[in-house]
Amino acid sequence: MIHVQPLPPPAVFPQLGKIIETGREQIHMLESGSTGENPVVLLHGCGSIAAEVMMPFAGSGLHMIAPDRPGYGFSPALPAGERGPLGQSFWLERFLDALDLEKVVLSAHSIGCAAALHLAFRRPDLVKGLFLISPCCRPVPFKPFIVLRSAVAPFVGPVIRQHVIARWSSYFLERGLRASSYPNPVAAELFTLPPMHVVNAASIATMAEELWAFNGDMQPLGRLPADLPVSVLFGREDRIIDPVWHLDWLHERHPAVRVELLDGVGHMPHHVAPDLAVTMLGDLVGSTPGDLAGEDNRPFIAMV
């Protein structure tokens, strides 16, 4: 009897885009759609890369630009002390300047929204609108993050990062995708992400550093310009980011945030309802300042 060994799964390689020089750093970015007016800049969340957040929008026809945030993918980390949302907003400002972009729509997922909000607050002249997906923006109560803290602890941290997490990157990526997608199944396209490129020693350290800096950076954020269109897409069943906790905070800082709350959807609504995400983003791209603000300055909330 002849025993035929099954073929190994095909290798998944990182998607290569362009390297942008800002004068201070190199930033890797992906781009899709017709270049020209009305560009959209996409920011991925914690522990992700540009390829993930680009997936639901790549066929939209919109001009999409997605950088790997600092410390993820092919973009090097920022210097110590600049790795939180505030420092990343200056990084984002340098990125836009290097591309000679003004008045862009910023779209961001999860903790990536924090840097977008800081830029909109500091430099409203650069931002045409905000599309926030499952936004992590309000300072949060302490969470232990036992595995993450162990991975960056003195002495044992490098061993855990190099010889446990990096070696078992496929396991940790799948575990993270299932937790983020709950209660929805993981979108098939997400299984095409290259595990060792997403989960590695550098990205684990970056996750810890930006989470530690998060509360201190977000506490002083003030009110956003009243005429800035801000749309939010949230899953009501999100177990990563509490919708009520963060939406209340956002409403205090903008008179007319427009919110779509999706029943039965978790932390990845852009993958669960990509058509809705594209429509909401397209509305912002085609808007002018004040277009999407409520006529009576009250927030608009739609429940799907």
Which pLDDT score is estimated for 145?
A: 63
**Residue partners of 78: CB distance under 8 A and separation at least 6:** 25, 70, 71, 87, 88, 91
pLDDT in tens, 81-94: 999 999 999 999 99
The pLDDT value recorded for residue 166 is 73
178 has pLDDT over 80:
yes
Q: Is 33 exposed, middle or buried (0-12, 13-18, 19+ CB in 10 A)?
A: middle
* Better pLDDT: 9 or 72: 72
d(CA 128, CA 255): 16
Average pLDDT, the chain: 89
pLDDT tens figures, 106-165? 999 999 999 999 999 999 999 999 999 999 999 998 766 666 667 667 767 676 667 677
pLDDT tens-digit readout, 257-283: 999 999 999 999 999 999 999 999 999
Domain map (residue ranges) of the chain: 18-303
Rg for the chain, CA atoms, rounded: 19
pLDDT (0 to 100) of residue 148? 65
Tokens for 151, please give them: 């991975």
* Lookup result for tokens 């914690």: 46
Are 135 and 232 spatial neighbours (Cβ–Cβ below 8 Å)?
yes
**Cα separation, 46 vs 304, whole angstroms:** 26
Report yes or no: 41 and 65 within 8 Å, Cβ to Cβ: yes
Mean pLDDT of 51-55: 98
Tell me if the bond preceding 79 is cis, omega within 30° of 0: no
Q: What is the pLDDT at residue 206?
A: 92
How far apart CA 287 and CA 76 sit, in angstroms, is 34
Statement: residue 23 has pLDDT above 70: yes
Q: Which CATH number fits domain 18-303: 2.60.40.420, 3.40.50.300, 3.40.50.1820, 3.40.50.2000?
A: 3.40.50.1820
Phi, psi dihedrals of residue 44, rounded to the nearest 5°: -80, 170
State pTM to two decimals: 0.90
Per residue in 195-245, pLDDT tens? 999 999 889 889 989 999 999 999 999 999 999 999 999 999 999 999 999
21, amino acid identity: E
Q: Kindly state the tokens that stand for 210.
A: 């930006």
